[in-house]
Structure 1
Amino acid sequence: MAVAPLLERLRELAQHTAQTPLYNPVFQLSHELSRELERGEIALDDIEAWVGELYDESLGARAARIRRLLAEPAPDAVPPEDFAMFRGRWENPVLHAVFTAHPTFLLSPAEYRHIAEKALGETQDGSARPESPEITLPFEHGRAMAAIANAQHARDRIVSGLCGEAREKWPEEWADFAPLPFRFATWVGYDMDGRTDIKWHTSIGFRLTEKAMRLASYVEQLEAIDEAHPLLDTLRPAAKYAQARADDFAEDLSEPAALSAAANRLTADDPAKLLSLAPLIAALEQEAGETDGGRAIALKTLAAAMRADGLGMGWVHFRVNAKQLHNALRQHLGESESFDIASKSALATLARMVEEVEPRHANFAALAIESSTAVRQFLAMAQILKHIDGDSPIRMLIAECEQPATVLAALYFSRLFGIEERVDISPLFETDEALEHGGRLLDSLLAEDVYRSYARKRGRVAIQTGFSDAGRFLGQIPASLAIERLQGRLAEAMAANGLGDVAALIFDTHGEGMGRGAHPGGFGDRLEWPLSPWARRRFSGAGIRLEPEASFQGGDGYVWFDTPEIAFRTLSRIAAEARRAPVTEKDPFYQRTDLSLDFYRAIKDHQQDYFESRTYARAVTAFGLGLLNTTGSRKSRRQSDIASDRDMHLRQIRAIPHNAILQQLGYPVNIIAGMGSATAGQFEDMAGLLAESPRGRQIVRLVRASNELASIKTVAAFGELFNSAYWASRPYRGTEDHIAGACETLADYLIGDDRAGTFRRLASRLRVDALKLHRLLALVPDETPPSDREHTRRIIGVLQALRLTLFMHMLVKAVSIPAFSRANDISRHDVLEMIFSLRTDDALKQLRRAFPTSFPVLDDFSMSEPADYPAPGRQGYATIRDEYIDPIERAYLLSLRISTAVANQFGAHG
């Protein structure tokens, strides 16, 4: 390895910490590399080669993690079961898998494919060259559809196997088997929470595209069974019709005439306008019962796919924010704007409105002229159910839902547009407020007659629990425990209000990064972390059927479905977990509440102190979002000017970038911090409980996995970039006279900067807590000690040192650029601050404007009057570009490649 000397040097430097505890090996290595770079002993070409090698290793590490999870030992043997038990296990979804598109498209499609194949041993060692596609909404939708298509093929293999097993074990009864082990859904193109770039016709167009894709796959599947099958006469024209309508809605529909033409073609009667698969499913099932062998299994497999997906690639989830619903509601109240959605009178008013509302009919023109975002979503859902797919229900997710009246507002609009019986309204609980008061919301909501009537019509009560805001506001561990308590309250509320005869659908939105709610310990932990055995027992004890649902998020989640084979391995692992006997024994974590509740509250308080801390916020936002690559079509934060970057609040940054920044700084605070301090004074008792409790061991596995990758020394090293004393001392002995001026300028510039102290204070606080954590972990047996822990830590340490070297190079180059005059209210000082906060693109734009390299010349003009001024051959600022501006850009691009490599070592972006 070309980087082997760097790894060895970091190991040697780390030994100095035994004699000098404050010694920082990561920063020392970056300093040594920086001196060599500025003296010309190494070049950016060398750093690029090292980064390339470490980058390829990070792809391998990511593939190895996937391979380890997929290769877990199979669960215990399946307990004996009769046909009724077999049907009960497989005729309801083991999991609803939702393919979301949060900004985690960190890698190119080629790289994700490389990882997936490498995880299965289907590719040779080597690197995958990134394609760097533009991450647009259509790109994200295409990736989601590709992942779902692979998941569908994998599910077909599982269904076929289940049918074969049923036929072998119960030959006289198996014809009645209607398997539905997995259901798939997506909100890509339908999620309006936090974005305004998704137009209503975008959602309609996507849904038509999905219909055309799925019908084409049904045709292909049926042709493989029988090329002359009579149902093909229905499916083929339907597929062509759906594609034609999708093409219509892909056009520019901004003009009323164009929209009218497209809408009229969609709404007109047509023999190929298939709106329900029910007759086809019945025909396939009947034929399967009348035949035998492989054909019967193939027919039942196709019928099962149709039953699961309907006339689309899966179900769809629309999402709005509670405030959008409240704003839409005002137009229908006929009351003053002081209407308080939190009041009891609002709940009573909305219950009455739901009971009294008369359904209205709307068309696409109504969609085009509607100004309310929330109402547009309901109108779009109505048109989809009326003209695209009349069978598949649609989920309406309500973000930041903190009042029961908000759910009734959604129910009112559902009934207003005649879609109440096909829409599952699902409040989202993920903020600290929502989780704290969510139990009371559920109690109040389920006590309303109109809601109970609605739930019985739908056959389910649906809620959504999220790990994004919860994970950063409360911390990962308190968020998980708060979520399971809320789930338990739902079971109690359903039982208390006579809803034990309907299902509970719980959508847990989490992500691949350990900072976002997907447990890194394996598929067993992944399924149980957001919906624990304790919570599941609350529902089974009340006789309530549970429908678990979880998200696979963006590129990080889609990699599990990047090929048909890895999709099959993924779903097979999940199905295998489902075949385990349910956990029935009581977990002491929930019995010893004298310890566990104090533990929960202490960690939550610790995490909330961090989130509200000025020191923590300043450190996380010290580089703005400049440590991160662009990974999605949705903006990561609101726009702000240069000055506001210094005072950016953490609530301005979305959850995934927040988690990703913590990984890049070297310490996932929202996972690790607080656990040590929460057990101070009772280490032995808490260690005993955690070791004895299955839930406790899960918590420990999460913290260990994160702590194995964490480095407080790295956090401290970032702060030294802002240390005026470092820059003033660096040329002190005369060893770097060639950059003495730059160092002096940086030292002077940073005298009043607060960031060096910020990082030191943060590192000190983390260290105090970590000492307590290590004392606790020493008392809890390590179930799966990693064999390559130190190698992985050194890989990350060298990556961090190389990045700090690049940042130093950028700063030295920036202050060495000749002075230029203020232009467009941007000064040289502003440009330097842009580079310090890694708003590098903005800085480069200003520098290139200040130092242009191309000018107009006399020969560019056709003038009749002669001139000999200016003289030809004037050269611009090419040298400044070559020596200063271009190296800054190159160094920054290399730093972003390091960011990707670090994220790969953690296993996800954020």
Structure 2
Amino acid sequence: MSRVGDLTERLQQIHQRTEETPLFNPVFQLAHDMSRELEDGTLSLDDMEAAIAELEVAALEERARRTHRMVAPIGEDANARALADSLDAPDFATFRARWESPQLHAVFTAHPTFLLTPAEHAAVAGAAARNGTIDPGVTGSDRPEVTLAYEHAQAMRAIAHAQDARDAIVAQVLTHAARKWPDDWRTLAPLPFRFASWVGYDMDGRTDIGWATSIAFRLAEKAERLARYIAALEAIDPRHQLLDVLRPAQDETAASAADFAGDLADPARLSQAANRLTAHGLHRLTSLAPFIAHLEREAGMTGDTQRAVRLLTLAAAMRADGLGMGWIHFRVNAKQLHNAIRRRIDPQGTLDLASKGAVVHLRDAIAAIRPHRTNFGAVAIEASTAIRQFLAMAQILHHIDADAPIRMLIAECEEPATVLAALYFAKLFGIADKVDISPLFETETALEHGGRFLDELLAEEVYRDYARQRGRVAIQTGFSDAGRFVGQIPASLAIERLQGRLSDAMAANGLTDVAALIFNTHGESMGRGAHPATLADRLDWPLSPWAKRRFARAGIALEPEVSFQGGDGYLWFATPDLARATLTRIACLRPSETDPDAPTDPFYRRTDISLDFYRAVKDHQRGHLESRTYARAITAFGLGLLNSTGSRVSRRQGDLSADRDMSLRQIRAIPHNAILQQLGYPVNVIAGVGEAAEGKYEELGALLAQSARGRELVRLVRAANALASVKTVAAYGELFNSAYWASRPYRGTETHLTAACEALSEYLVKDDRVGVFRRLASRLRVDAMKLHRLLAHVPDDQPTENREEKRRMIGVLQALRLTLLQAMFIRAVSVPAFSRANDVSRDDVLEMVFTLRIDDALAQLRRAYPVAFPRLDRFDLAEPADWPDGSDEGYGAIHRDFIDPIERAHALSLRISTAIANVFGAHG
């Protein structure tokens, strides 16, 4: 039996003791057993690394199986057959209506979810595509620094695979139409999917993206897309006349991309780059409309059906993507817009932007606008982040792609005046006809008052005129902060109510003639809002059938949009086969469509129960968020349980607080959710559901069982609960239990650790974390008992595969990490007190280790105990010296026995973090 097999068997054995002693903690006991073996030499870090590597492979294989299950069948022939089964239509008009509008807009975003190394990501994708196994050699592979450029490259790779998959679907749709309607099919312009990205354009919460970065990325995307168009056209006809225009345009674009990727601090260099881009030369290409028209005319004239299909497929790609790899989303924060608009209409700062007066003031200001010309110099010298984004958009639309509209997302947007401020700048710079302004509803306040917000905004004539000009009303709803601050279940229910209110507001204000574009940034895991059960659930979760029916019954066209975030989301598009399977499943599920005549789901009819359920779960979640116990437990290890997985910082900028006083609002949503998984309990998914059922288990259980939406909610909760462990939460608190450390060498056991354990016990007497974790575990346990009673009344229609195997895998991983943490604690406290650097505080170093700020702690220890010293023989001096005599150069042993083992244990701990996240299904 392997070491992992032994550990798993041991965990099962000691777990039985919970029947005799309910407070017994099998995870901590296993960790204690391993810690004793590690400290007496029976077990080594090499042995632990081998066990971790074995579990890493198993976790990667688990992730690959889940990915395969979500999108199977995989393979070109299988997906062609699956799509063929969904192509039937009674007539060409119906077929055209179905395929000429997107079933889904997919946005490739890059929040910090690049958990896997490139080797691991490729291995999971390959195993998922063939439903195979993982090569053990990928574990422990190098983790690159996740820079913005790295994220952008990964996004473009995923989009390229998605484009190829869409082309295959479009070609099959055209071929089917050619057989079924030979007289009409050449007029078909399929557009099943649109793709977009905000990588390099998202300024919310970060200051490290310069305006030139966005321009350089957009030019690089244009150059890459032109190269792909050229390759597609060459495959049809290597001497095609359009190549004579596309090739030099691609060369010129690549040169401009290089210009803007360089250092533009020198005005002369910026002027040179700008003048090359804006010059009206023969190779300047800002619109594909003539190319699309040419390809469609040629397809209509040729008698070769296959050639016509290929020409129309290329035209469809151009129509979908424009002069880029997809559309782009800029994003700013509402505060940035407020600061910008005050400069224009309220320089004295006396206007309350939340007031009716502000709306009136903005309405008048918009009506009086005289559009301003801009250039790249204006962009370079602009100090306001928000205005600079509008200036950059203007340059993109004027000089890079004049056809593809740009989305302007506004985070933390809670007042209609904020949207009007954005509209003011869009009109000021002459781009309102090409910019979709989209408020983001994510905070609890925004969700609660979003209906009023939409009513007031859509009542403004200036906004209605703008919406009609654009042909859509665009909003964004997110599960990131919403799922953190109100919980995933209440967030989903609040978001769908907001979507329903949008339908009502559009109908009430005569906007049924424009589309509703709803962007749901729901993340990629049960911790961020994406549903883990099936792809159908994943699509329904952020935009439910109930919400879609509201728009259908109002006669409003719906454009659903979702995000595929970072390494997590890109996994669906990591290979051509996976991309084809993913888009085929979506095309077959038709997420933009619904049956308006479907009977009302009882969950929405029995609001006397469902609204109480929503409020009770939300109140419970708010109780955790406001609890100092919860905040202290979540921040007990800072962010030290997590790998760095993105270019955006995990703590909000400006955070200077100590770890002990860290606020949950200082940690971004993704790491917050990831920490919950690492501690063993997805609180923001599970907590409160049990308490909400108290006193009405049968009644609520019956409603959830009868309701399609209710069963979907329960499937999410069951998926999280299947992997959750209150005992694990409690185990982390025992690391800070002074009594535990005092007892380890009790009665003569582990006498070699007496000094270390005594020091730890004495130091931790004043530490609050053991009590914090115990109180949190008690609260979670009470709620979990009630949840189990509720779930007994709801059939399990999607049981978690290999549930017990996954739980045992996580249990062993957690025990291994607890062992490593104990090893780090023991070695940190055992480092000799003497130090050459008198300013190094031993207690500070210990606290850094206890909060897993290991890099900081190691830096201090290495400064205190250097292994390399300045040597006297470096100097050419005539006078002899007897000092230094070399007697104090013995720090190599301290590195070997203490510093190096701490570093290695921490690295192994982070590998465990990755494995646990893989079993849960995602980071975040």
TM-score by length of 1: 0.98
Q: Deviations over 1:717-736 (max 9, x none)?
A: 00000111111111112110
Compared with structure 1, are the counterparts of its residues 639 and 236 closer, same or farther at alpha carbon in structure 2 (3 Å cutoff)? Answer: closer
Q: Once the 2 structures are TM-superposed, how far is the Cα of residue 131 of structure 1 from its aligned partner?
A: 3.1
Q: What corresponds to 1:163 in structure 2? A: 174
| Match of residue 207 from structure 1 | 218
* Change over 3 Å in CA distance of 1:817–1:694 after alignment to 2: same
1:590 partner amino acid = Y
Distance change in 2, residues 1:282/1:77 (3 Å)? closer
Three-state SS of the structure 2 residue aligned to 1:779 is coil
Deviation at 1:576, TM superposition (A): 1.0
* Residue 840 (structure 1) aligned to one of 826, 844, 854: 854
Name the structure 2 match of 1:875.
Answer: 889
Q: Within 5 Å, which residues of 2 pair with 1:855-874?
A: 855-871=869-885
Instruction: Report what 1:466 is aligned to.
Output: 478
Matched residue, 1:283:
294
Q: Which residue pairs with 1:437 in the alignment?
A: 449
Does 1:345 find its partner at 2:354?
A: no
Structure 1 partner of 2:76: none
Give, in angstroms, the shift of residue 876 of structure 1: 3.5
Q: Give runs of aligned pairs for residues 576-587 of structure 1, distance below 5 A.
A: 576-578=588-590, 582-583=594-595, 584-587=598-601
1:755 to 1:397, Cα distance in 2 relative to 1, 3 A: same
Identify the residue that residue 815 of structure 1 maps to in structure 2: 829
Does 1:14 find its partner at 2:15?
yes
Distance 1:26 1:87 in 2: 59
Q: Give, as a single letter, the amino acid of the residue that structure 2 aligns with 1:696.
A: G
Matching residue within 194, 200, 222 for 2:205: 194
2:784 aligned partner, one-letter code: A
- Worse overlay, 452-461 or 872-881: 872-881
2:129 is matched with: 120
Distance 1:731 1:208, change over 3 A: same
Shift of 1:189: 0.2
SS at match of 2:437: strand
Q: 1:592 to 1:176 in 2, by over 3 A?
A: same
Whole-angstrom distance in 2 between the partners of 1:609 and 1:585: 36
Aligned to 2:229: 218
State the shift of 1:15 in Å. Answer: 0.7
Quote the residue 1:64 is aligned against: 65
- Aligned partner of 1:109 in structure 2 is 118
1:750-790 deviations in Å (ceiling 9; x for gaps): 11111001000000000000001001111111112234111
Please give the secondary structure, in 2, of the residue aligned with 1:3.
helix
**Displacement, 1:256?**
0.8
Q: Kindly tell me: are residues 52 and 344 of structure 1, through their superposed partners in 2, closer, same or farther at Cα, counting changes over 3 Å? A: same
Q: Which amino acid aligns with 1:186?
A: S
Q: Which amino acid aligns with 1:315?
A: W
- Rounded to whole Å, the distance in 1 between the matches of 2:657 and 2:156 is 42
| 8 Å CA contact retained: 1:78, 1:581 | no
Residue equivalent to 1:178: 189
Identity %: 67
Equivalent residue number for residue 264 of structure 1: 275
Return the offset for 1:825. 5.0
Asked whether 1:890 is paired with 2:898, we answer no
Residue of structure 2 aligned with 1:254, choices 237, 258, 265: 265
Which of 421, 438, 441 is residue 426 of structure 1 equivalent to?
438
Q: CA deviation at 1:871?
A: 3.4
What TM-score, normalized by structure 2, do the two folds share?
A: 0.97
One-letter amino acid matched to 1:157: A
The answer on whether the counterparts of 1:78 and 1:579 sit within 8 Å (CA) in structure 2 is: no
Q: Aligned residue pairs: how many? A: 910
Specify the alignment match of 1:686 in structure 2.
700
Name the counterpart of 2:503.
Answer: 491
**TM-aligned CA deviation for residue 336 of structure 1:** 2.1
Q: Aligned AA for 2:13?
A: E
2:553 matched residue in structure 1: 541
Distance in 2, matches of 1:47 and 1:535, equals: 50
One of 737, 744, 748 as aligned partner of 2:751? 737
1:598 aligns to what? Answer: 612
- Supply the RMSD in Å over aligned alpha carbons: 1.6
Q: Which residue number corresponds to residue 233 of structure 1?
A: 244
Q: Could you tell me which residue of structure 2 aligns to residue 509 of structure 1?
A: 521
CA separation of 1:370 and 1:598: change in aligned 2, threshold 3 A: same
Equivalent residues of 1:79, 1:581 under 8 A apart = no
Q: Give the deviation of 1:867 after TM superposition.
A: 2.7
Q: Tell me the CA shift for residue 411 of structure 1.
A: 0.2
Per-residue CA distance 1:848-899 (angstroms, 9 max, x = gap): 1111111011111122323343336863300001001110110011000000
Change in Cα spacing, 1:523 to 1:124, as seen in structure 2 (3 Å) is: closer
Q: Note if contact 2:169-2:584 (Cα within 8 Å) is conserved in structure 1.
A: yes
Q: Tell me how far 1:635 sits from its aligned partner.
A: 0.4
Aligned partner of 2:17: which letter? H
Kindly state the Cα deviation for residue 80 of structure 1 after the two structures are TM-superposed.
Answer: 4.5
Tell me what 1:91 maps to. 100
Residue 409 (structure 2) pairs with residue 397 (structure 1): yes
Corresponding residue of 1:701: 715
SS in 1 for 2:310: helix
Q: Secondary structure of the equivalent of 1:395? A: strand
- Which amino acid letter does the alignment assign opposite residue 376 of structure 2? F
Give me the whole-angstrom Cα distance separating, in 1, the residues matched to 2:209 and 2:364: 33
Q: Is the 8 A contact 2:233 2:240 kept in 1?
A: yes
Q: Secondary structure at the match of 1:205?
A: helix
Alignment partners' CA distance in 1, 2:262 and 2:86: 55
Change (3 A) 1:161 1:148: same
The question of whether the paired residues in 2 share the 8 Å contact of 1:821 and 1:827 is answered with no
Deviations 1:66-85 (A, max 9, x none): 11111279799677432111
Equivalent pair of 1:435/1:486 in contact (CA under 8 Å): yes
Contact 2:121–2:571 (8 Å) recurs in 1: yes
Match of 1:657 in 2: 671
State how far apart, in whole Å, the 2-side matches of 1:517 and 1:881 are: 44
Q: Distance in 2 between matches of 1:79 and 1:604?
A: 44
Q: Is the CA contact 1:520–1:705 (under 8 Å) kept in the aligned structure 2?
A: yes
| 2:32 paired residue number | 31
Which residue number in structure 2 is paired with residue 323 of structure 1? 335
Q: Does 1:362 align with 2:369?
A: no
Please say which of residues 819-828 and 831-840 is displaced more in the overlay: 819-828
8 Å CA contact retained: 1:467, 1:517: yes
Deviation at 1:826, TM superposition (A): 3.9
When residues 47 and 167 of structure 1 are mapped into structure 2, their CA distance, relative to the original with a 3 A threshold, is same
Q: Which residue identity is paired with 1:162?
A: V
Query: Where in structure 2 are there 5+ consecutive unaligned residues?
Result: 74-78
Distance 2:618 2:363 in 1: 36
For 1:613 and 1:450, locate their aligned partners in 2 and report how far apart those are by CA, in whole Å: 44
| Partner Cα separation in structure 2 for residue 780 and residue 792 of structure 1 | 23
Question: Is the CA contact 1:642–1:834 (under 8 Å) kept in the aligned structure 2?
Answer: no
Q: CA deviation at 1:165?
A: 1.1
SS at 2:183's partner residue? coil
Structure 2: distance between partners of 1:104 and 1:322: 25
One-letter code aligned to 2:470? R
> Quick one: which amino acid aligns to residue 276 of structure 2?
R
Q: In the TM superposition, what is the alpha-carbon distance from 1:16 to its structure 2 partner?
A: 0.7
User: 1:450-486 deviations in whole A, cap 9, x for unaligned?
Assistant: 0000000000000000110000000000000000000
How far residue 579 of structure 1 moved from its aligned partner, in angstroms, is 8.0
Q: Deviations over 1:595-619 (max 9, x none)?
A: 0000000000000111111000000
Structure 2 contact 719–800 (Cα < 8 Å) conserved = no
Gaps of 5+ in 1: none
Q: Is the 8 A contact 2:165 2:579 kept in 1?
A: yes
**1:115-154 map, 5 Å:** 115-121=124-130, 124-127=133-136, 128-129=138-139, 130-154=141-165
Counterpart Cα distance in 2 of 1:172 and 1:299: 17
Contact residue 203 and residue 332 of structure 2 kept, 8 A: yes
Q: CA deviation at 1:253?
A: 0.6
The residue number in structure 2 matching 1:765 is 779
Within 1, Cα distance between the matches of 2:90 and 2:812? 54
Change (3 A) 1:489 1:244: same
8 Å CA contact 1:852, 1:876 repeated in 2: no
Q: CA contact under 8 A between 1:466 and 1:508: conserved in structure 2? A: yes
